Amino acid sequence: MFTLSQWFFIYLEIFPLLCDIVSELSSALQDTLCEYLGAPYISNDFVTNGEDNETAAPDISSLVSAFQRFVTHRVSSRSADMGSINRDVTLQAATKCLGMLYRLNQRGHFIHFSEFYNHEVNERLEIKEDFPNFRDKKGFSFCEHHFILNPATKAEIMRVDSTFSMRSELQDAFFRALFQGVTCPYLVLEIRRDFIVRDALFQRLNRRKTLKSSYAFILLERKVSMKGGYKRNFSS
């Protein structure tokens, strides 16, 4: 067993170096390393035998836990004035190492995928900063490494994605209205009061190209227009 001081030395000195080296390997070399770490667990006989997979699970789980503890340490020790966690290059490297183990796990299903979730990352992640990196393919993004994110965070990412898309569609619609003479920048849905959900869904599904547009409701009985009403129901 390691002493407390030895653990600190591992996390502060050895693990960062290990993560940096492994993360810089090509995907092919990472897969080769996975085969070495997983041997003989990823052989065909092992993968198809449920009992053998259960035997392998503690070893794979220990590897994942080691990297998870390091990720948790990096996130929890990062102060707010140091900026978003996705700017930590060592944390980026550790996440990529977890990704390598995630690919190994996909081959044999040794441990449950939830073991790759990291509580600290999900608590500290700034989605509104991280998601644009993912969308624009600029720099590192935890969205790209989805295995580390829990369902609640993924749901929030989908909501942010929908918000970004609707804003973009609305901006494009206003430009079309300005330069092409379109009178209404919204997608207009004509609905009957007694069939609100059915009419709205039917018209939305028949105009799939505008699913993320901002829209206006027109109640046919009273000719009342409600621009952008019930937006969350369609975008979430």
The verdict on residue 144 lying in a domain is yes
Are both 83 and 196 inside the same structural domain? no
Total number of domains constituting the chain: 2
Partnered with residue 225 across adjacent β-strands are 218
Are both 10 and 115 inside the same structural domain? yes
Are both 166 and 110 inside the same structural domain? no
Are both 142 and 164 inside the same structural domain? no
Are both 73 and 50 inside the same structural domain? yes
The verdict on residue 28 lying in a domain is yes
Per-residue pLDDT tens digits for 195-231: 777 777 776 666 655 555 555 656 666 544 444 444 4
Which strand (E) or helix (H) includes residue 105? Answer: helix 89-108
Q: Is the pTM of this model over 0.95?
A: no
Are both 96 and 178 inside the same structural domain? no
Q: Which structural domain, as residue segments, surrounds residue 59?
A: 4-149
Q: What is the dihedral of CA 157, 163, 165, 166, to 10 degrees?
A: 160
Are both 118 and 31 inside the same structural domain? yes
Per-residue pLDDT tens digits for 73-84: 999 998 888 888
The verdict on residue 154 lying in a domain is no
